[in-house]
Structure 1
């Protein structure tokens, strides 16, 4: 991997806020490719039932696309210290967009899901907004994880306990927050040299058979394992399993996810490409693509595509890729910046010099 400047690794609360000259092309490429997989996974959902091959691809992608995104998010949270300025950026980067998009998705879902009575609540994240709530919690606790001697084993223990605790409930999608926590803590523990290690030629070569084995494993798992495990949103008992399956699956899923994340990162280009600049807009692509996916599911497009088999699948895959790519572009970011990256300095107290804290 090409050596980045020291400022390239400066953590920020919103990925797209970094000035262009401080960004690392490798991480922008990784974020764009990860969000591309998120969108493709979502657009596959209405076509997956009864198609073992597509379900295997779905299992395979879901095993690592969010873990990869979360690991990178944890890596860029390493310097969060709960200072007033960083807390302000945390609020403006995650809390305010969460309120805006959770309200918007709840209202939109009333139409897309034919559920006019759906309540608007900030405690039950809708569709993609759970990730903003999770990032807020994870980053707020980052100083605690950095202070621990063995943060990753402790995080795995927390995730395992969550996996056997159906009483946690759905508030802020806390099951997902806790079960994905080890991926975030892993990112906190990583250093630039770890990413250079992943980019070695030997790792690239080994990643091919490892990823191939992962795809075969996914095909084997389709009829045997409930896909609910992939979402990390339920305890073992809620999936009809014995309590001890929770810790076992926590460790197995983390191991599989880690192996596939390494394979993914090994093949991410470390040079500037045509999509590198789009890495600055992945938060936009993530938050906005859900509206398109819900709208698409409400139309008759999937019914038209099903009879065409793999050709229809290819068409819908390309559609998802094009849409999320467009949503990461500069014009879209300029249009939606007031709601994705709002400026609400007036909410915060000013420093002695009259400048809002954290600016």
Structure 2
């Protein structure tokens, strides 16, 4: 939804409000969930192979596909895996998270250290989008927070609690409504400071126009806000299986494929300008939901499984998979994060 309405934000305060609310928490929430389903034990042969088959190989395949799409649309001829195209940066971030977590787990205060790293990297102009490093270090605290939460029983308590949870959910709705109201009533301020760039976690403070010690305080506030919003969002998720639960297991397909549908539309010039009304905003929101449901459907998953969940057994040395003949076969769980990652 955020990607679908982005072109409307320049002209529409309503679109900008929704966009900022989404970007204030959605990537941090993904990182928290990814961390929750990650293990801090030393990597095994199986986990290392899955790192390749679930993240690295799909990343290279999709980067090649993006090069073809950009050539067809705007004539750009470039293939540079060191600079992720649009949404693909999160694949590299996940790979790096999985690699460094066993080492972070050895530290006494991994969460505190990750927050310091996130704040400090903003002062380093040399850390940029190469290999998605700036964003990876910027959202590292959320991944570590998710992992720390997995060592507690907070999720079990929430899912099994028989106490009334309506007041928690009411408070969560109140958080989002309050934030949306504050943003909507002060949109000129956020436009002037380009707040959305702050929410990307991929630029240094100097490139954001805030090369001062106070810039680190701004990131602290955004981290705290993202944690509150992520908790509020997760509190609104149903605690039992619903009709769309099976579709939720296909998040990798939605994540990797939706941008190929939205990119031509974004570049067509159709959105924005006169097409920034509330009607267009509502249409794009509905379209975003429809695209997600279609991309999570069984026919799409069967068609694109070879590139989203490749099985490149030929890539690995025979002794790398001989201990487990099933490696690296396709996992039965088709989601973005895995319990034994």
What TM-score results when the alignment is normalised by the length of structure 1?
A: 0.82
Structure 1 position 202, deviation (Å)? 3.9
Task: Answer with 249-258 or 183-192: which moved more.
Answer: 183-192
1:93 has 2:54 as partner: yes
- The equivalent of 2:239 in structure 1 is 270
User: What is the DSSP-based 3-state SS (H/G/I as helix, E as strand, rest coil) of the residue aligned with 2:275?
Assistant: helix
Structure 1 position 253, deviation (Å)? 0.8
Higher helix share: 1
Aligned partners of 1:246 and 1:304: how far apart in 2?
33
Q: CA RMSD in A?
A: 2.2
Q: Contact (CA 8 Å) 2:118, 2:137: kept in 1 or not?
A: yes
Aligned partners of 1:221 and 1:198: how far apart in 2?
35
- The equivalent of 2:26 in structure 1 is 65
- The equivalent of 2:175 in structure 1 is 210
Aligned partners of 2:156 and 2:325: how far apart in 1?
39
User: What is the DSSP-based 3-state SS (H/G/I as helix, E as strand, rest coil) of the residue aligned with 1:237?
Assistant: coil
Aligned counterpart in structure 2 of residue 260 of structure 1, from 205, 211, 229: 229
1:321 has 2:289 as partner: yes
Structure 2: which 5+ runs fail to align?
160-164, 330-341
Aligned partners of 1:210 and 1:182: how far apart in 2?
22
Structure 1 position 84, deviation (Å)? 1.1
Aligned counterpart in structure 1 of residue 199 of structure 2, from 230, 236, 240: 230
Aligned partners of 1:181 and 1:328: how far apart in 2?
28
Q: Contact (CA 8 Å) 2:38, 2:98: kept in 1 or not?
A: yes
Aligned counterpart in structure 2 of residue 331 of structure 1, from 299, 308, 311: 299
Structure 1 position 56, deviation (Å)? 1.2
- The equivalent of 1:107 in structure 2 is 68
- Give the number of equivalent residue pairs: 317
Instruction: Give deviations 1:299-341, integer Å, cap 9, x for gaps.
Output: 354269717x212211121111101211111211111111111
Aligned partners of 1:339 and 1:256: how far apart in 2?
36
1:355 has 2:325 as partner: yes
- The equivalent of 1:33 in structure 2 is none
Task: Answer with 46-55 or 287-296: which moved more.
Answer: 46-55
Structure 1 position 243, deviation (Å)? 3.1
- The equivalent of 1:120 in structure 2 is 79
Aligned partners of 1:85 and 1:358: how far apart in 2?
8
- The equivalent of 2:335 in structure 1 is none
Structure 1: which 5+ runs fail to align?
1-39
Aligned partners of 2:11 and 2:270: how far apart in 1?
18
Task: Answer with 120-129 or 213-222: which moved more.
Answer: 213-222
Aligned partners of 1:197 and 1:220: how far apart in 2?
37
Aligned partners of 1:207 and 1:250: how far apart in 2?
22
1:176 has 2:152 as partner: no
Q: Contact (CA 8 Å) 2:70, 2:76: kept in 1 or not?
A: no
- The equivalent of 1:194 in structure 2 is 154
Instruction: Give deviations 1:224-259, integer Å, cap 9, x for gaps.
Output: 232210111101100111232432122111100000
Aligned partners of 1:107 and 1:259: how far apart in 2?
40
- The equivalent of 1:310 in structure 2 is 278
Aligned partners of 1:48 and 1:304: how far apart in 2?
10
Structure 1 position 272, deviation (Å)? 1.4
User: What is the DSSP-based 3-state SS (H/G/I as helix, E as strand, rest coil) of the residue aligned with 1:129?
Assistant: helix
In structure 2, relative to structure 1, the CA distance for the partners of 1:303 and 1:162 (3 Å cut) is: closer
Q: Contact (CA 8 Å) 2:2, 2:19: kept in 1 or not?
A: yes
Aligned partners of 2:322 and 2:72: how far apart in 1?
49
Instruction: Give deviations 1:153-203, integer Å, cap 9, x for gaps.
Output: 100011111111111132112111110111111111113622245564442
Q: Contact (CA 8 Å) 2:14, 2:278: kept in 1 or not?
A: no
Aligned counterpart in structure 1 of residue 98 of structure 2, from 132, 135, 139: 139
Q: Contact (CA 8 Å) 1:175, 1:232: kept in 2 or not?
A: yes
Aligned partners of 1:237 and 1:62: how far apart in 2?
21
